[in-house]
Structure 1
Amino acid sequence: MIQQQTILKVADNSGAKTVKCIKVLNGFNRRFAVLGDTIIVSVQKLRNKARSTSKVQKGEVHKAIILRTKSKTVKKDGTTFFFQSNVVSLINKQGKPIASRIIGPIPKLLKKKKNLKFVTLSSGFI
């Protein structure tokens, strides 16, 4: 579960390393975001090698989709899964990813939430 002021890692090649959640979207006074939700983030740190070729700058505000969370997620068959860190991928205003690659696996749950572009960019599923 992600809320305001949460520091998140970025799992794509947009140039950002860490971001901070500013607002959780989809509902008035909504407090938490879960896997597959859209949030508004501010870029906190950039990757060292990508500072000159970065697609984003420090302090910029972007939308992001949550790809992995530390909190447990329960599947329909009763099994649970969780990840080691909270990870997002940056998107533009039209909902398309800024980056051209996503590092690490993403859950199959994102296939059903109409985020097929992220499915094609990722390396695998869980």
Structure 2
Amino acid sequence: MIQPQTFLTVADNSGALKVMCIQKIGMGNNICARIGDFIVVVIKEALGSMTIEKSEIAIAIIVRMQQEFKRKNGTIIKYDENAAVLIDKEGNPKGTRVFGSIIREFKFLNFAKIISLAPEIL
């Protein structure tokens, strides 16, 4: 589960390298975010040649998580790192490529653009 103050790596080529979660966006009393949830992040590390700068606030969606993700058929998926993709206000990714694998449940969450940019779908 991703809580406030959790560091995540960025899984796209938007220019940010590391981000820190500030808060979860959405309904519910639970402050912890899971795969597919929107979070507000602050950029902690960024490349110098890109438009995104350090200490900028952005919106991201969680694509990988260290905690186990259980599917309805009983399969369990677990990643080595926490990762997010930066998005704009319309829900489109800021980068043009997504690194690493993405779970196929994103298709049902209406994130077809992120799935089309990913090299592998689990």
Distance 2:28 2:110 in 1: 23
Superimposed CA distance per residue, residues 64-85 of structure 1 (whole angstroms, 9 cap, x where no aligned partner): 0000000001111111111000
Q: CA deviation at 1:30?
A: 3.1
Distance 2:20 2:93 in 1: 18
Q: Corresponding residue for 1:83?
A: 79
Q: CA deviation at 1:55?
A: 2.8
Instruction: Tell whether 2:13 aligns with 1:13.
Output: yes
TM-score normalized by the length of structure 2: 0.96
Q: Pairwise mapping of residues 32-71 of structure 1 onto structure 2 (< 5 A)?
A: 32-47=32-47, 51-52=48-49, 54-71=50-67
Amino acid at match of 1:105: S
TM-score normalized by the length of structure 1: 0.93
> How many pairs align?
122
Q: Corresponding residue for 2:95?
A: 99
Superimposed CA distance per residue, residues 64-115 of structure 1 (whole angstroms, 9 cap, x where no aligned partner): 0000000001111111111000000000112111000001110111111000
Distance 1:55 1:125 in 2: 29
Q: Corresponding residue for 2:4?
A: 4
Amino acid at match of 1:77: N
Q: The residue matched to 2:102 in structure 1 has which SS?
A: coil
Q: Which runs of 5+ in 2 are unaligned?
A: none
Q: CA deviation at 1:29?
A: 4.2
Q: Corresponding residue for 1:25?
A: 25
State percent identity of aligned pairs: 36
Amino acid at match of 2:38: T
Q: CA deviation at 1:27?
A: 2.0
Q: CA RMSD in A?
A: 1.0
